[in-house]
Structures are given as structure tokens and as C-alpha cells.
């Protein structure tokens, strides 16, 4: 049997394991959703044990169902929801608290306090980020301040902090390796983006003890060897945060190339080359990946609630049974009929960076139906992505896209219409997982170079803009008026 590659894709709403052949063609995939905990308004938590159990569950089923043995696997790659923080005991390996998820807003006041003290400019210069609850640093600070078990473990030298990549590698290696991938580390607010090392002053600012943090490794490094039954000795040879993995999966290898992903949130990343360039206002600077010691940087625009607004219609309001039904209902209307939905459930990201913005639905009349809410919700995903494109200076002619909500054709056509850009949907929606598989294949030498990756066949669905410029402008203006009303609400 020719060697296979396995990608673990630990997303915000589900864990997936995907099997690829040696030419990186997908053979099979297993996916399992896990619980979202919302203990208070603005708080979002995951159970780190459940994350691991669903990840391991999907992986074992994938191996069993395809009769794959450890010796058949060339390497494993990991991609993961970014910024989410896990704290565990480095002796028992047990989580000390629920993981605080990237969307969680509980540290808004703390971040605001740091801003008032004038810390933001320095933090932005060092990290490329902004002082927002989104990133890991303030979440670690919160756990150390408010969770007795975390504080106690820190005092006893037993605290291990990590993002999800770190946690999965720890579990896969039976606690042998406490490491993280550089792109993931670049999202913590604790790493100097140019030297790619933890920064002493940032650690002090967030009160995070250096010994609690993992070692930072390149994206194609040997992260460790698995020590689980049926997987003994399998090399973990690639890792990247989900958005970086998607940028890699789209093969945005050259400066200027970009992609937008429609998952729980929407994230537009543009490759800016091998030299760090400070990002323009409203955008973030981030490590895309480091391969064989050479770093590629990216600029990023982030939308906190993208596809998640459809989940809210399904699970919160219960007005649809499935995400796909949002398209059917929205398509029964000729347009939004004046209804706008700003899904600022977790504040707003690019370009506002307002943690106090909150969701609103405006323009309701007695004639409003659930179809209007579906339409407005889907359009909100497109408007927010339009604002991402604008933050990049506009002029984007084509958008490579992927992610769960990119399967919604009405949304993709509307996206092309409101941005005036051609939208190229990757037909395999798991570009993120493919990116992780590519990194692992490069890391273990199964594929020799990025040039070889460019030869892989990726099939696209193309949506061309068809809306009159006047209509586009009228819709965008109205959207921006709705957004203004949502700012600073909390």
C-alpha cells in the first residue's frame, strides 16, 4: 500500500479526520460536532476533553473503516480553530478549566483597560494584532486571575497553556510534547512577530509565566510521534491554524494572492511575502507559515460571525431545520426588502474592532417573515466580507473561497454582486484540511516542494458579479447605516 496522509481538522463546531492518498486525493473523512457552551452572555467555552474525544473518535473510526495501520501513514498534519486557550495540568494531563473560545468576549474590559494605559501601539508593533479579547493572551490572563485551579497549578509549576494545536499534540504524544506551531503562536499576543519568540514584555503585560507556554516550532516541523494504540510512532509533521492552512490549501504561495473562508467566522488572508510589513488600519499582521526556517507573512481581516449566523437561525431562533434551508427560504424573496441583520453577537472585527457592538435586526414590518431573516442573515455574511475587501484597499478582482457556508450558492452569487469581484469557490470545501495535509506531506518529504503542490488539480465553481453599480452602492450604504447602530451597544 502506498503511504497515506492524515489531516486532523479541529474546527470551532466540529472535529474532522480526513484520509488522503499519496497524491493528496481525499479518500475518506469522518466528522463529529461537539458542544458549544454559552455560560453567560458573550462567553463561549469548549470542553477540551470533548474536543479530544471527538478528534480521537473520528480518527479511530477513519483508520478502522479504511483498514489503515500505523505503518501505512507517511505523516499526520493538524489544523485547528485558532486563539482558543486550553489550560491543563502538565502532570496529569487533565484540563484545569473549560477552554475559552476565540469568540469569547469576557476580557473586553481588561483589553479596554490596557488600551487606556496606552499599551496598544506597542502591542500592535510587536505582534501585528490589536488589543481585542479575540486573541489568546487576555484569555490566559483571565484564567490565571479568576480560576483557582489554574492559579494553583501555576504556583506549583504544573500549568500548561496551549492553543488547540498544542493540546492535540500533547494528547497524541501521550504528554511527551508541549509544543506549538508558529502561526498559531502569532495569534496569542505574546509572540514577537519578527523574532518568532515569546516576548518577555508581553508575557509580563498579560501576567503569563514563560514556563507555562509551549515551545514554538516551524509549520513543517516534526512536532512529535504519536503514542496511541494503533498509531504508535506516526509522525506529526505539519500544523497550521485553520485560516493559515486554508491560505496554504488554496496555494496562495505568492505575495498578493488571497482567500476568504466562510466558516463560523469569515477570514480574508493575503500573502504579503517573506518580510514582515506592518498591516494597514483595521487589518492584522500574522505569520502565514514558516517552512524550512523561512517565514511567510500575511495580512488578515476577520469577521467574528459568518456562517454562525445561520447556526443561530437553526439552533437559537429555530426557524430553519438545516443550514441549507436558509438558501431555499432566502430564494423565495426577490431581495432583502429593507431588512438588515448585523450579527455582532461577539462584537465586530475588521474594520471596527468593537467588542461592545451587539447584534441587531432592523427594517422589520408586519410583512416580515422568516424568509426575510434568512435573506438578511445570508446577506450579512456577504456585506461583512465586502467590508474585509474594502479594508484591503478594494480593487480585488477575484476571491478564492472555501468553508461550510461557501456551499450556499445564493450567498456566493450575492458575494460576487456586492463586491464586484469574481468568486471562485473551491469545490472541495475542506481546503483547510487539505492545507494541513500539504504541510505534512512537505514536512515528511512525501512531496518535495511547493512547486509540486501547484500541480494538484483543484476544481472551482465561478460566480461572476451581475449587479448594477447603483444597486450595489445603495445596499452597501444601507448596510453601513445598520452597522453604525450596532456599535458600542453593550
- Contact residues toward ligand ADP (CB under 6 A) are 11-14, 263-264, 307-308, 310-311, 323-324, 326-327, 403-405, 407-408
Nearer to ligand ADP, 82 or 177 (CB): 82
Question: What is residue 180's three-state secondary structure?
Answer: strand
Radius of gyration of the chain (CA): 21
Nearer to ligand ADP, 102 or 289 (CB): 102
On whether the CB atoms of residues 307 and 403 are closer than 8 A, the answer is yes
Residue with cell 518580510: 275
Cα angle, residue 357 at apex, residues 353 and 358 outer, rounded to 5° = 140
Nearer to ligand ADP, 236 or 308 (CB): 308
Closest approach of ligand ADP to the CB of residue 165, in Å: 14
Q: Is the omega angle on the peptide bond into residue 351 within 30 degrees of 0, that is, cis?
A: yes
Nearer to ligand ADP, 133 or 307 (CB): 307
Which residue in the shown chain puts its C-beta closest to ligand ADP?
404
Closest approach of ligand ADP to the CB of residue 238, in Å: 18
Cα-Cα-Cα-Cα dihedral of 360, 327, 333, 345, to 10°? 0
Closest approach of ligand ADP to the CB of residue 262, in Å: 6
Closest approach of ligand ADP to the CB of residue 80, in Å: 10
Closest approach of ligand ADP to the CB of residue 263, in Å: 3
Adjacent-strand bridge partners of 235: 225
Closest approach of ligand ADP to the CB of residue 323, in Å: 3
Closest approach of ligand ADP to the CB of residue 265, in Å: 7
Q: Encode 441-457: b = buried (16+ Cβ within 10 Å), e = exposed.
A: bbbbebbeeeeebeeee
Q: For 152, what's the count of Cα atoms within 13 Å in the CB-facing half-sphere?
A: 6
Cα-Cα-Cα-Cα dihedral of 227, 231, 237, 240, to 10°? -90
Closest approach of ligand ADP to the CB of residue 311, in Å: 4
Closest approach of ligand ADP to the CB of residue 457, in Å: 22
Closest approach of ligand ADP to the CB of residue 2, in Å: 29
Grid coordinates standing for 133? 479579547
Residues 6+ apart with CB under 8 A from 453: 24, 251, 253, 438, 442, 447
Nearer to ligand ADP, 15 or 166 (CB): 15
DSSP symbols for 103-158: T--TTHHHHHHHHHTT-HHHHHHHHS--S-TTSHHHHHHHHHHH-HHHHHHHHTT-
Nearer to ligand ADP, 45 or 225 (CB): 45
420 phi-psi bin (left φ>0, alpha ψ -120 to 50, beta other): left
Nearer to ligand ADP, 83 or 225 (CB): 83
Nearer to ligand ADP, 264 or 290 (CB): 264
Nearer to ligand ADP, 13 or 369 (CB): 13
Nearer to ligand ADP, 216 or 382 (CB): 382
Distance CA 246, CA 449 (A): 18
For residue 175, with 0-12 CB atoms within 10 Å meaning exposed, 13-18 middle and 19 or more buried, which class applies? middle
Nearest CA-CA partner of 138 in 118, 156, 114, 154: 114
How many angstroms separate the Cα of 104 from the Cα of each of 41, 84, 107, 355, 430? 9, 9, 8, 10, 25
Sign of CA dihedral 68, 71, 77, 78: positive
Nearer to ligand ADP, 381 or 396 (CB): 381
Distance CA 239, CA 437 (A): 9
Nearer to ligand ADP, 188 or 408 (CB): 408
Closest approach of ligand ADP to the CB of residue 308, in Å: 5
Closest approach of ligand ADP to the CB of residue 411, in Å: 6
Amino acid at each position: 500500500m502506498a503511504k497515506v496522509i492524515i489531516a486532523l481538522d479541529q474546527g470551532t463546531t466540529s472535529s474532522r479526520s480526513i484520509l488522503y492518498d499519496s497524491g493528496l486525493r481525499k479518500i475518506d473523512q469522518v466528522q463529529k460536532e461537539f458542544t458549544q457552551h454559552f455560560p453567560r452572555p458573550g462567553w463561549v467555552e469548549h470542553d477540551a476533553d470533548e474536543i479530544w474525544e471527538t478528534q480521537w473518535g473520528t480518527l479511530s473510526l477513519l483508520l478502522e473503516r479504511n483498514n489503515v495501520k500505523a505503518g501505512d501513514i507517511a505523516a499526520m498534519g493538524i489544523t485547528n480553530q485558532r486563539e482558543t486557550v486550553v489550560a491543563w495540568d502538565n502532570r496529569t494531563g487533565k484540563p484545569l478549566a473549560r477552554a475559552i473560545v476565540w469568540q469569547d468576549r469576557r476580557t473586553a474590559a481588561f483589553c479596554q483597560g490596557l488600551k487606556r494605559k496606552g499599551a496598544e501601539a506597542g502591542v500592535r508593533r510587536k505582534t501585528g494584532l490589536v488589543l481585542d479579547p479575540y486573541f489568546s493572551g487576555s484569555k490566559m490572563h483571565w484564567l490565571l486571575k479568576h480560576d483557582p485551579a489554574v492559579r494553583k497549578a501555576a504556583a506549583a509549576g504544573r500549568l500548561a497553556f496551549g492553543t488547540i494545536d498544542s493540546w492535540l499534540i500533547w494528547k497524541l504524544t501521550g504528554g511527551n510534547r508541549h509544543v506549538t506551531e508558529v502561526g498559531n503562536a502569532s495569534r496569542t499576543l505574546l509572540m514577537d512577530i519578527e523574532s518568532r519568540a515569546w516576548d518577555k514584555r508581553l508575557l509580563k503585560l498579560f501576567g503569563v509565566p514563560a514556563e507555562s507556554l509551549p515551545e514554538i516550532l516551524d509549520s513543517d516541523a516534526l512536532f512529535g510521534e504519536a503514542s496511541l494504540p494503533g498509531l504508535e510512532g506516526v509522525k506529526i509533521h505539519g500544523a497550521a491554524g485553520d485560516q493559515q492552512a486554508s491560505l496554504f490549501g488554496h496555494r496562495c504561495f505568492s505575495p498578493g494572492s488571497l482567500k476568504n473562508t466562510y466558516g463560523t467566522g469569515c477570514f480574508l488572508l493575503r500573502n504579503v511575502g517573506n518580510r514582515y510589513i506592518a498591516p494597514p488600519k483595521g487589518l492584522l499582521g500574522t505569520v502565514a507559515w514558516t517552512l524550512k526556517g523561512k517565514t511567510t507573512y500575511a495580512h488578515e481581516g476577520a469577521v467574528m460571525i459568518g456562517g454562525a449566523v445561520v447556526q443561530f437561525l437553526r439552533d437559537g431562533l429555530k426557524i430553519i431545520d438545516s443550514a441549507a434551508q436558509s438558501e431555499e427560504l432566502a430564494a423565495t424573496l426577490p431581495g432583502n426588502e429593507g431588512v438588515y441583520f448585523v450579527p455582532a453577537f461577539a462584537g465586530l472585527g475588521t474594520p471596527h474592532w468593537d467588542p461592545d457592538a451587539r447584534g441587531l435586526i432592523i427594517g422589520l414590518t408586519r410583512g416580515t417573515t422568516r424568509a426575510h431573516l434568512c435573506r438578511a442573515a445570508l446577506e450579512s455574511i456577504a456585506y461583512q466580507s465586502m467590508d474585509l475587501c474594502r479594508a484591503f484597499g478594494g480593487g480585488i478582482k477575484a476571491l478564492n473561497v472555501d468553508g461550510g457556508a461557501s456551499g450556499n450558492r445564493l450567498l456566493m452569487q450575492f458575494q460576487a454582486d456586492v463586491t464586484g469581484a469574481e468568486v471562485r469557490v473551491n469545490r472541495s470545501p475542506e481546503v483547510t484540511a487539505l492545507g494541513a495535509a500539504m504541510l505534512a506531506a512537505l514536512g515528511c518529504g512525501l512531496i518535495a516542494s511547493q512547486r509540486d503542490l501547484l500541480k494538484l488539480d483543484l476544481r472551482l465553481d465561478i460566480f461572476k458579479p451581475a449587479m448594477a453599480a447603483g444597486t450595489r452602492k445603495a445596499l452597501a450604504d444601507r448596510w453601513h447605516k445598520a452597522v453604525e447602530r450596532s456599535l458600542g451597544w453593550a
